[in-house]
Amino acid sequence: MRARKLQFLGIVKDTRGQSLTEVAITMPVILLFFLAMLQYFSIVQASQLGNYAAYVAARVYAVQAPLCKYKNGNDNDAKDKAKKAAAMALAPIARFVPGEVTVGGFSLGSLSSLLPSGTPDFLQGAAKFVEGYLVAYYIRLNSSLGGGSLDITNNGTQVDVSIKYPQPIYIPGLAEMWNLVAGDHIFTSLKPAREGLGGIPSYYASYQELRDQAKSLLGIDLPDSPVRFLPYVNIKSKCSMGMEDWGSKEEYRPRQHGTVEDAGASEEDKKKIGDSQKAQQASEDYNNAVQTETAKCSAWNAARTKLAQAQSNRDAVYANPNSTAQQKAAADAALSQAQQEEQAAHNAYNSAQADRRNKQATLEGITGQSYGDLNCDS
C-alpha cells in the first residue's frame, strides 16, 4: 500500500505535462509576434518610400505645372508626370508578392520571378524595377483596381501631394496565426488600418467581413470567392512644397531644344534656327493673310451681287408706270443700303489684299520664291 501511495505522489509531482501545456499556449502568441514584427518592417519600408514618392511627385508637379498650364491651359500633363515619378519611387516594393492573388488554388506572384535561371543580375533587376513601376502606376495607385491613389492640390503658391498606398500583408502564416490568436478574421481586425482604400482591397475585405458576421451571428459559412486576395493596410504619405508660376513669364521658361535660346547650339546653328523660325512665322502669317483675303473677297462678291439685284429692282420699279411714290422710295433706300454695304466690303477687301501683299513680300524676301498674286473674281 505504501509503495502505491509513493508511486501516485510521483505522478502528481511530475510537471512535464504542465510545461508542455504552457508551451502550447504561449507558442502561437510568440510566433504571431515574430511574424508581425517581420510584417512591420515591410510596412516601415513602404512608409519611407511613400514619403519619398510624395516628395518627388510634388517636386515634378511644381516644376512642370506652370509650363503645362502655359502650353495646354491645364495641369493634367503635370499630374500624370508626377504620378509616374511617384510610381518610379515605389517600384522597388510595388510588384506583386507571392500569394497576393490566388485563382483556383494557383498563386500568382511576381512576374519577374518567371525569368529563366541564369539570367544576368542586371536584367533581373531591370525586370523587377519595370514590373514594380507598371504595377505601382496602373494598379497600386489606381483607386478602381489596387485601391490606392495620388491626389494633388495647388493653390498657386503651394502644392500638396497625398498618397494612399495599399500595402499587402504577405508574411506567410501571419494571417492564420492572427485568426488563431485573436479569434477574429484578419480582414475584420485590419478594417481601421485599411480605411481610405478603394477598389479590390475594399470590395474583397468587405465580403470577408460579411463572411465573419454570417458565421458568428447566424452560423452560416459563406463560400469564399474563387479569386482570393491578401489583406491590405493603407500607407498614407503627404508632402507640401512651395511653387511659383514661372511659366507665366517668358524669361523664366526653360530653353527649348531647337530654338534660338538653345544653349547647346553654335552661332551658325543659332542663325540657321533663327532663319528657319522666321521663315516658318512668315509662312504662317502669309497663309493667315491669304485666308483673310479670300474671306473678304467672298464677302465683297456677295455685296456686289446684292447691289446688282437692288439696282435691277430699282430700274424695274421706275420703269413700271403704275409704281407708287412709296415703292420708288423703298427701291431707292434698298439701293442706297446695298451701295454702302458694297463699298464697306470693297474697302475691307482692299485692306486684306494690302496686308496679304505685305506678308507675301516678306515671305518672298526670306525664301527667294515667288508666290504670285490673287484675283477676286465675282
pLDDT tens, residue by residue, 103-119: 877 777 666 667 777 77
At 328, which amino acid appears?
Answer: K
What is the distance between the alpha carbons of residues 300 and 288, in angstroms, rounded to a whole number? 18
What is the distance between the alpha carbons of residues 165 and 136, in angstroms, rounded to a whole number? 9
242 with 315, same domain?
A: no
Asked whether residue 262 is assigned to any structural domain, the reply reads no
Percent of the chain whose pLDDT exceeds 90: 26
238 with 359, same domain?
A: no
Give the three cell numbers for residue 28. 502561437
State which of 215, 250, 285 marks the end of a domain: 250
Whether the CB-CB separation of 201 and 194 falls below 8 Å is answered with yes
62 with 159, same domain?
A: yes
Q: Is the dihedral of CA 117, 122, 125, 131 positive or negative?
A: negative
pLDDT tens sequence across 302-341: 889 998 998 999 888 888 888 888 888 898 899 899 899 9
Asked whether residue 100 is assigned to any structural domain, the reply reads yes
Asked whether residue 195 is assigned to any structural domain, the reply reads yes
301 with 215, same domain?
A: no
Q: Which residue has the higher pLDDT, 20 or 278?
A: 278
What is the distance between the alpha carbons of residues 180 and 30, in angstroms, rounded to a whole number? 12
159 with 89, same domain?
A: yes
What is the distance between the alpha carbons of residues 80 and 64, in angstroms, rounded to a whole number? 10
Asked whether residue 319 is assigned to any structural domain, the reply reads yes
118 with 162, same domain?
A: yes
Name the β-bridge partners of 373: none
pLDDT surpasses 70 at 279: yes
Number of independent structural domains in the chain: 2
Asked whether residue 269 is assigned to any structural domain, the reply reads no
246 with 326, same domain?
A: no
Closest CA to 245 of 2, 64, 78, 369: 64
Q: What is the mean pLDDT of residues 172-197?
A: 79
- Tell me the pLDDT band of 378, cut-offs 50, 70 and 90: low
Q: Is 240 helix (H, G, I), strand (E, B) or coil?
A: strand
pLDDT surpasses 80 at 268: no
Domain of residue 109: give its range. 15-250
- Tell me the pLDDT band of 258, cut-offs 50, 70 and 90: very low
245 with 285, same domain?
A: no
243 with 298, same domain?
A: no
β-strands 158-168, 232-242 pairing: antiparallel
Phi and psi for 162 in degrees, rounded to 5?
A: -125, 125
Name the β-bridge partners of 114: none
- Tell me the pLDDT band of 272, cut-offs 50, 70 and 90: low
245 with 293, same domain?
A: no
Enter the DSSP assignment of 222: P
b/e per residue, 341-368, with b = 16+ CB within 10 A?
bbeebbebbeebbebbeebbebbeebee
State which of 232, 250, 268 marks the end of a domain: 250
- Tell me the pLDDT band of 255, cut-offs 50, 70 and 90: low
Give the three cell numbers for residue 35. 511574424
Give the pLDDT confidence score for residue 188 in this predicted structure: 83
pLDDT tens sequence across 27-78: 767 777 888 888 889 899 999 999 999 999 999 999 888 878 777 778 899 9
Enter the DSSP assignment of 73: S
At 21, which amino acid appears?
Answer: T
DSSP state letters, 179-215: HHHHSS-HHHHTHHHHTT--HHHHHHHHHHHHHHHII
β-strands 227-229, 158-168 pairing: unpaired
Name the β-bridge partners of 239: 161
Whole-number mean pLDDT of the chain? Answer: 82
At 260, which amino acid appears?
Answer: V
Q: HSE-up of 195 (CA within 13 Å, CB side)?
A: 4
Residue 281's CATH number: 1.10.287.620
Give the three cell numbers for residue 116. 529563366
239 with 180, same domain?
A: yes
Closest CA to 125 of 113, 107, 141, 137: 113
Asked whether residue 373 is assigned to any structural domain, the reply reads no
What is the distance between the alpha carbons of residues 105 and 225, in angstroms, rounded to a whole number? 11
CA 314 to chain centre: 67
Laid out side by side, the sheet with 101-103 consists of 106-108, 101-103, 227-229
181 with 297, same domain?
A: no
Give the three cell numbers for residue 261. 535660346
Asked whether residue 4 is assigned to any structural domain, the reply reads no
* Ramachandran class of 183: left when φ > 0, alpha when ψ lies in -120 to 50, beta otherwise: left
pLDDT surpasses 60 at 253: no
Asked whether residue 359 is assigned to any structural domain, the reply reads yes
Give the three cell numbers for residue 4. 502505491
Q: Where are the alpha helices (DSSP H) in the chain?
A: 2-13, 16-72, 76-94, 121-135, 174-182, 186-189, 191-194, 199-213, 267-319, 325-367
What is the distance between the alpha carbons of residues 50 and 235, in angstroms, rounded to a whole number? 7
State which of 200, 233, 250 marks the end of a domain: 250
